[in-house]
Amino acid sequence: MKEPNSTGAAVRTLEADVLVIGGGGAGLSAACAACSEGAKVVLLEKNPELGGTTSLSVGSITAAGSSWQKKAGITDTPDEHFADMGLFLGSVDHRDNMALRRVLVDHVTETLEWLKSIGLAFYGPMPEPPHKKPRMHTVLPNSRAYPYYLGREARRLGAQIHCNARVVQLLQDGGRVVGARASIDGAVVDCLARRAVVLASGDISAARDLKRQFKEDLADVQAINPNSTGDGQRMVVQMGGELVNGDLMRPPALRFKAPARDNFLRRLPPWRMLTASMNLAMRFVPNWIIRPFIMSFMTSSMSPEAAFFKAGAILINHEGKRFTQETGQPASDLAKQPDQSAWIAFDDALARKFSGWPHYISTAPGFAYAYFPDYRRTRSDLYVTAQTLPELARKMGVPQDALTKSVQSYNDEVADNANGRAPMREGPFHALGPIQAWVILTDVGLAVDTHHRVLDRDGTPFPGLYAAGSAGQGGVLLWGHGHHIGWAMTSGRRAGRFAAQEHELSRSTR
Ligand SMILES: Cc1cc2nc3c(=O)[nH]c(=O)nc-3n(C[C@H](O)[C@H](O)[C@H](O)COP(=O)(O)OP(=O)(O)OC[C@H]3O[C@@H](n4cnc5c(N)ncnc54)[C@H](O)[C@@H]3O)c2cc1C
């Protein structure tokens, strides 16, 4: 079927029962669930490949009462998980959407078991304080396994998946959302949904305009996923929808520049034989054999700990100047520096201190710890050392006088040892960099109800429109590891199922 659009060009149409927008964890889970309800599903993904932020993540899912926990003899419940999530939030606990937190803890475990049933493998459960029980499960061999298995399952169940398909507008008819207009491989296509649309288009971490509305200083900070441009949020806000808890967006994070080549773990394919062997190896092979492989991941993907700065590491910009109080919010100040990048400088006393437990530079909680020698060995691209500060400055490529002055004024500042930071006096001196400021993710989703229906500013659902994952976060605060992916897949599955049941449910009051 073809009709002219406003520019006179022919508009193709695609028809489905359920239209899913976005091919990350939430969208693919929604597509699988809707297909399982017997719906004909079309999924549109703007990138050439599936995966979104989901495939850039570490890949952990936190869940209570899992088969992994049972195998390890751990008794755990959704109620305990619910209570522990509040411990991460402290004074903003009251801002959480408790109804959606309940949805997450009550359903994430079945999500995890379903992921296992379609081929995904996990290692765990691992501890992550303040969770009182170990309940973090990490995907093997890396998060690319998600789009691989979810995409395969969605196709097996009959979903029609289009990549290079960017949705530009939601289509409404008499107030009901009936589909979306997309550009697919350059052609304008109207995708009509007989039952409902599921919006699963990710977060706003690369959307300058939306970030600016809530946190001016985050607007220009680069995002880990430059494709997270908040398309879904913007389309729904224009229709009268609402974004929730934007003012609680977290500050940017520090991360070292990525290595030229993916680390060893990121390069592994998601084959079952391999993940089964990895699981065994991580349990039974001596740590000294496994550790170097894990370290390549740790020193590429994890942020340096605040404890490193509290102990005396300082941040130096490309002018050789110290620009921040490192024990505060250094990433926010780093974002204002030239190139949004800097060096971490420290002396040999600190290097020796951070060479063994309990003084680690970075960690994947409960899983692995990276020390100074790990960075020196696995990230030689980041590391310079010299006997004197002028020589260190030369190797860093910063003005010698400026660095020497910066270190001197830092030493004066900490001379009375008031805040427990050590002076930087003992050569050889070391520097790691460049380190950069990044928006890792943004918890700014559309308002939704517990059936994942998108709400307008009066709290009334837009008929025919559901949202899941980051786009449909609805104000639930997912702090701590493993709650975002748990939410993406859990809300995705539920939204997909409810969307597929829409023709039946719209007749009942629910
Ligand atoms: C470095 C890093 C590590 C992380 N580690 C973890 C972790 O270990 N555990 C955890 O729980 N969380 C983690 N997270 C967060 C987690 O990955 C995300 O919150 C989650 O994957 C979001 O899933 P999603 O499906 O909502 O979005 P995405 O995975 O981003 O999927 C959205 C998709 O929609 C597509 N899209 C957007 N706009 C359009 C459009 N207009 N038309 C068509 N398609 C569109 C995008 O291209 C994308 O593919 C991490 C994040 C980062 C950046």
Q: Name the percent of the chain lying above pLDDT 70.
A: 96
Say if CB 454 and CB 474 are below 8 A apart. no
pLDDT score, position 298: 73
How close is the Cα of 506 to the center of ligand 1, in Å? 30
pLDDT score, position 4: 47
What is the number of the ligand 1 atom nearest to the C-alpha of 469?
Answer: 26
Q: Is the CB of 200 under 6 A from ligand 1?
A: yes
pLDDT score, position 508: 46
- Angle, alpha carbons 360-366-371 (nearest 5°): 20
Q: What DSSP assignment string belongs to 451-510?
A: T-EEEBTTSPEEEEEEE-TTTT-TT----STTHHHHHHHHHHHHHHHHHHTHHHHTTS--
Q: Is the CB of 472 under 6 A from ligand 1?
A: no
How many of the other CB atoms lie within 10 Å of CB of 503?
12
Please determine, for residue 504, whether its predicted confidence score (pLDDT) is greater than 70.
no
How close is the Cα of 15 to the center of ligand 1, in Å? 26
How close is the Cα of 478 to the center of ligand 1, in Å? 14
Q: Exposed, middle or buried: residue 76 (CB in 10 Å: 0-12, 13-18, 19+)?
A: buried
Alpha-carbon distance of 66 to 11, in angstroms, equals 48
Q: Is the CB of 58 under 6 A from ligand 1?
A: yes
Chain centre distance of CA 434: 22
What's the CATH class of domain 2-250+440-505? alpha beta
pLDDT tens digits for 337-387?
Answer: 978 899 999 999 999 999 999 999 998 766 678 899 999 998 999 999 999
From 50, 57, 191, 257, give the residue whose CB has the most ligand 1 atoms within 8 Å, as the site to mutate.
Answer: 57
Say if CB 293 and CB 265 are below 8 A apart. yes
End-to-end Cα distance, the chain: 35
Q: Is the CB of 24 under 6 A from ligand 1?
A: yes
pLDDT score, position 364: 74
Alpha-carbon distance of 178 to 458, in angstroms, equals 21
Alpha-carbon distance of 371 to 390, in angstroms, equals 26
Give me the residue label for tokens 């088969």.
67
pLDDT score, position 282: 78
What is the number of the ligand 1 atom nearest to the C-alpha of 29?
Answer: 25
pLDDT tens digits for 25-50?
Answer: 999 999 999 999 999 999 999 999 99
CA-proximal residue: ligand 1, atom 19 (nearest): 484
* Strand 10-21 versus strand 2-4 pairing type: antiparallel
What is the number of the ligand 1 atom nearest to the C-alpha of 165?
Answer: 43
For 20, the 3-state DSSP assignment is strand
Radius of gyration of the chain (CA): 24
CA-proximal residue: ligand 1, atom 38 (nearest): 201
Alpha-carbon distance of 289 to 293, in angstroms, equals 8
Q: Is the CB of 166 under 6 A from ligand 1?
A: yes
Largest CA distance in the chain: 78
CA-proximal residue: ligand 1, atom 48 (nearest): 52
pLDDT score, position 10: 55
Please determine, for residue 2, whether its predicted confidence score (pLDDT) is greater than 50.
no
Phi, psi of 171 (to 5 degrees): -100, 135
pLDDT score, position 279: 81
> Which helix (H) or strand (E) covers residue 199, if one does?
strand 187-199
CA-proximal residue: ligand 1, atom 15 (nearest): 484
What is the number of the ligand 1 atom nearest to the C-alpha of 301?
Answer: 1
How many CA within 13 A on the CB side of residue 455? Answer: 17
How close is the Cα of 286 to the center of ligand 1, in Å? 34
From 28, 29, 53, 191, give the residue whose CB has the most ligand 1 atoms within 8 Å, as the site to mutate.
Answer: 53
Say if CB 475 and CB 442 are below 8 A apart. no
Q: What is the pLDDT confidence band of residue 509, given thresholds at 50, 70 and 90?
A: very low
Please determine, for residue 88, whether its predicted confidence score (pLDDT) is greater than 70.
yes
Q: Is the CB of 392 under 6 A from ligand 1?
A: no
Q: What DSSP assignment string belongs to 55-85?
A: GGS--EEE-SS-HHHHHTT----HHHHHHHH
Q: What's the one-letter identity of residue 71?
A: K
Q: Name the percent of the chain lying above pLDDT 90.
A: 79
Q: Is the CB of 184 under 6 A from ligand 1?
A: no
> Which helix (H) or strand (E) covers residue 145, if one does?
helix 145-156
**Residues linked to residue 121 through DSSP beta bridges, in sequence order:** 140
Angle between the N-to-C axes of helices 389-396 and 400-414, in degrees from 0 to 180, rounded to the nearest 10: 120
Alpha-carbon distance of 57 to 321, in angstroms, equals 33
- Six-digit token pair at 386? 């010299």
- Nearest Cα residue to 229 out of 58, 52, 59, 55: 52
- Nearest Cα residue to 178 out of 455, 464, 507, 451: 464
CATH code, 301-438: 3.90.700.10
Q: What is the pLDDT confidence band of residue 283, given thresholds at 50, 70 and 90?
A: confident
The residue extents of the domains of the chain are 2-250+440-505, 301-438
Q: Is the CB of 501 under 6 A from ligand 1?
A: no
Q: Is the CB of 124 under 6 A from ligand 1?
A: no
How close is the Cα of 387 to the center of ligand 1, in Å? 44
Alpha-carbon distance of 454 to 1, in angstroms, equals 30
Alpha-carbon distance of 62 to 426, in angstroms, equals 43
Alpha-carbon distance of 428 to 274, in angstroms, equals 42
Say if CB 483 and CB 474 are below 8 A apart. no
- Nearest Cα residue to 467 out of 26, 62, 45: 26
pLDDT score, position 510: 42
Please determine, for residue 106, whether its predicted confidence score (pLDDT) is greater than 90.
yes
Alpha-carbon distance of 195 to 412, in angstroms, equals 68
Q: What's the one-letter identity of residue 21?
A: I
CA-proximal residue: ligand 1, atom 14 (nearest): 57
pLDDT score, position 277: 83
How close is the Cα of 464 to the center of ligand 1, in Å? 23
Alpha-carbon distance of 166 to 230, in angstroms, equals 12
Contacts of 345 (CB under 8 A, 6+ apart): 313, 314, 315, 316, 392, 396, 403, 407, 424, 429, 430, 431
What is the number of the ligand 1 atom nearest to the C-alpha of 182?
Answer: 42
Chain centre distance of CA 497: 24
How close is the Cα of 151 to the center of ligand 1, in Å? 15
Alpha-carbon distance of 179 to 24, in angstroms, equals 19
Q: Is the CB of 245 under 6 A from ligand 1?
A: no
Mean pLDDT (whole number) for 224-235:
97
pLDDT score, position 300: 76
Q: What DSSP assignment string belongs to 160-219?
A: EEESSEEEEEEEEETTEEEEEEEEETTEEEEEEEEEEEEE-----TT-HHHHHHH-GGGT
Angle between the N-to-C axes of helices 483-500 and 25-36, in degrees from 0 to 180, rounded to the nearest 10: 30
